[in-house]
Structure 1
Amino acid sequence: MRHRHGEFHRLSRIGWLRAAVLGANDGIVSTASLLVGVASAARAEPGDIMIAGVAGLVAGAMSMAAGEYVSVRSQADSEEAELAMESRELQDDPDGEHRELAEIYVRRGLDRELAQRVATELMAHDALEAHARDELGLSVTLAARPLQAAAASAISFASGAILPIIAAGLSSRSLVTPITIGVSLLALGILGAISARMAGAPIGRSVARVLFWGALAMGITAGVGRLFGVAA
């Protein structure tokens, strides 16, 4: 019996995983920081805290989606422009493009005769795809997908932001700050571990990184809220 050689690669996850992790992390940190900052003000009422949290969730999700879409759309536009230019060059000078592709394979270690044959075969199959992949470094797996990235960012931000809001809503006024911080740090630690596991990165380092920056952001915001609350 023949045994199929199966390989598992994580590159197909890069686009949506980056957007989802960034969105969830920002949702937790920014919303928790906002809640803690408002709660640290001496005169803040529970209703004020919840309004701030919900407003932060909606504004943050929309901001993340818009920013991610614009960013990835710009990347997609650049990729499309490069492909259009390459397509024109293939029509205007196919022999020159063949030599260029063959030289790429020579630099990668093939002898010149074999490189010529490989370039001929690949260009006969799909010339633009061969040049996009081997000359420009573009591939279907890593292609920019603006709508996918925007949706992932908005959904993940809202999913992350809802956790500190729930924690604050279920806490008494005197315990809003410590409970919100505790729940948020726990969620950040879990998120860091999951993202590291999916990406094949060291879990401990990823968890420590998100906990440090999350705690720093919430601590600074709490200090600012308390300072301005007393001054007001």
Structure 2
Amino acid sequence: MLEHGHSETDIAERIGAPAGRGYLRDVVYGAIDGSVTTFAIVAGVAGAGLSPFVIIALGLANVFADGFSMAAGNYSGTKAELDNIRRLRRIEERHIDKDPEGERRELHHILQLKGLSGKPLEDAVSQISSNREAWIAMMLEGEYGLSSVDPHPMHAALTTFVSFLIAGMVPLLPFLFSVPEAFTWSAGLTMISFFAIGAFKSIWSLSPWWRSGLETFSIGGVAALIAFGVGTLFNL
């Protein structure tokens, strides 16, 4: 079974209203960082032999403060990306107004690189350059490699924060519920979380789920071991 249909209606609906910039990167980034940093605090504090209360206090502080910091950083980065797209759009608008023939030559070259030649190429240049918005969109994509769908800074920030919050709470759950051998449970749940994040990521990649899961599991495991090792240095 193919991933989507190719009838005229299917094509018109899918291409005429694209889904936009995906937020998979923000979900995975936020979830992995939330798990790693929170468990790093748990492992470090536990390695230093401090009380569960300290683990909970520092862990919650990390989840909310670092989660907000990451979301704010992602918002600022995405906003900068959006501002750059708008800047380049204005450049193309000005160039089309001031030097339309030069922009048509650029458009001709872009379409030539896409495989057009001869009369179809000339017709395409004429047709696209007669539609100002289509012309600008083609120049942004062909000259700068930009998508026609703008990123949304607030959506990116909220996705990062929610992912960080959910994944970051996992290492703290055994301590919040006063489970016996809380650190062991925290380590186990966090490792499961690492693997699950990687397996989830494989839905959008060519890697098998188990390989993607093990990759994320390994990254998180190394971070946890480093944090625990540093913490034990202060267990005097």
TM class by shorter-chain length?
A: 0.7 to 0.9
1:122 deviates by: 1.4
Q: Does 1:150 align with 2:157?
A: yes
1:157 deviates by: 0.4
The alignment's TM-score, normalised by the length of structure 1, stands at 0.88
Q: Per-residue CA shift, 1:37-93, capped at 9, x if unaligned?
A: 111212x11211111111111111111111111211221222111111111000001
Which residue, 140, 158, 179 being the options, matches 1:132? 140
Task: Give me the whole-angstrom Cα distance separating, in 1, the residues matched to 2:48 and 2:221.
Answer: 18
Contact 2:75 2:157 in 1 (8 A): yes
Say if 1:22 and 1:179 are closer, same or farther in 2 by CA, change over 3 A. same
1:185 deviates by: 0.6
Task: Give me the whole-angstrom Cα distance separating, in 2, the residues matched to 1:170 and 1:15.
Answer: 36
Which amino acid counterpart does residue 46 of structure 1 have in structure 2? P
1:133 deviates by: 2.6
Which amino acid counterpart does residue 134 of structure 1 have in structure 2? G
SS in 2 for 1:110: coil
Task: Give me the whole-angstrom Cα distance separating, in 1, the residues matched to 2:19 and 2:41.
Answer: 34
Q: How does 1:94-105 map to 2 (within 5 A)?
A: 94-105=100-111
1:108 deviates by: 2.4
Identity of aligned residues (%): 29
Contact 1:35 1:168 in 2 (8 A): no
Q: Per-residue CA shift, 1:188-208, capped at 9, x if unaligned?
A: 111111111134543232111
SS in 2 for 1:135: helix
Q: Per-residue CA shift, 1:5-57, capped at 9, x if unaligned?
A: 75889x95764110111001111111011112111212x11211111111111
Which residue, 17, 24, 30 being the options, matches 1:23? 30
1:118 deviates by: 0.5
SS in 1 for 2:77: helix
Partner of 2:88: 82
Task: Give me the whole-angstrom Cα distance separating, in 2, the residues matched to 1:172 and 1:226.
Answer: 22
| RMSD of aligned alpha carbons | 2.2
Q: Per-residue CA shift, 1:106-130, capped at 9, x if unaligned?
A: 2222113221210111122232122
Which amino acid counterpart does residue 141 of structure 2 have in structure 1? R
Partner of 2:226: 220
Which amino acid counterpart does residue 186 of structure 1 have in structure 2? I
Which amino acid counterpart does residue 164 of structure 1 have in structure 2? P
Task: Give me the whole-angstrom Cα distance separating, in 2, the residues matched to 1:31 and 1:14.
Answer: 28
Partner of 1:34: 41
Partner of 1:185: 191
Note the residue ranges of structure 2 that are not aligned, 5 or more in a row. 1-5
Partner of 1:118: 124
Which residue, 21, 26, 49 being the options, matches 2:55? 49
Report how many aligned residue pairs link the two structures. 224
1:132 deviates by: 1.9
The alignment's TM-score, normalised by the length of structure 2, stands at 0.86
Task: Give me the whole-angstrom Cα distance separating, in 1, the residues matched to 2:148 and 2:169.
Answer: 34
Say if 1:194 and 1:133 are closer, same or farther in 2 by CA, change over 3 A. same
SS in 1 for 2:182: helix
